[in-house]
Amino acid sequence: ADFANDDARSFYDYAVRALGIKPENIKMLIDGEAEQVEILSAFKSWLPSYVNKGKTDVYVFYSGHGLPSTDGKSLFFLPQNGHKDYLTETGIDQTSLVAAISAAKPKSVTLFIDSCYSGQTRHGDALLANARPVALTSRNTGYPATFTVLTASAPDQISWSSDELRHGIFSYYLMKGMEGDADGNKDGKITAGEMQEYLSDKVSRQAMSMSRKQDTQLVGDANRVLMGR
């Protein structure tokens, strides 16, 4: 996906600076490292060794292609070596990742997903013919109560990138929000609701300036504090 590597590298920096995460506690996978086995290994082997059960906050950032299943009930992430025509064999089922994270028993989980649920690229090309968009809800994705999920677009929309910003639109404003721009009441804390309100405004405005439409989505507790002193 266009600028996905830039999105990931920038989020790594913000994870250290804004979230206060030590570099040794961050696993970044880009290019050849972002293949199916490496991604699964990161969630099923690496992550559990870094989680203190009931105490650790886990953050997951994904920028790349997303493809809906043929029945439109689940989302697959497309790894570096994935093939759209063999999705169930080479893709990463989001439900399986949620299960792997949950098995580590963290205190909380935050997912930031800069990916389409519509089966289209960041420039509007179809990845999969006749794809049925995934409707993001707690019910059909199996998110536990400890999960907070912010995604780039509505089910039938494209998650656009910007040549001007050199990032996915969602990723760019997510990181601007983490700088403090999303702190609506200026109390030094950013809640999921504040971040969603900020992203909803900035992302939709940027998309409209490109004659596009994109509306960010939030699943989870809007009052949960994502970051702050």
| Length reported for the chain | 229
Tens digit of each residue's pLDDT (9 = 90 or more) over 71-112: 767 788 989 988 888 888 999 998 899 999 999 999 999 999
CA dist 214 → 8, 75, 88, 202 (Å): 20, 18, 27, 10
Q: What is the mean predicted confidence (pLDDT) over 176-185?
A: 94
- 8 Å CB contact between 1 and 65: yes
The structure's pTM equals 0.89
Q: What is the mean predicted confidence (pLDDT) over 135-142?
A: 52
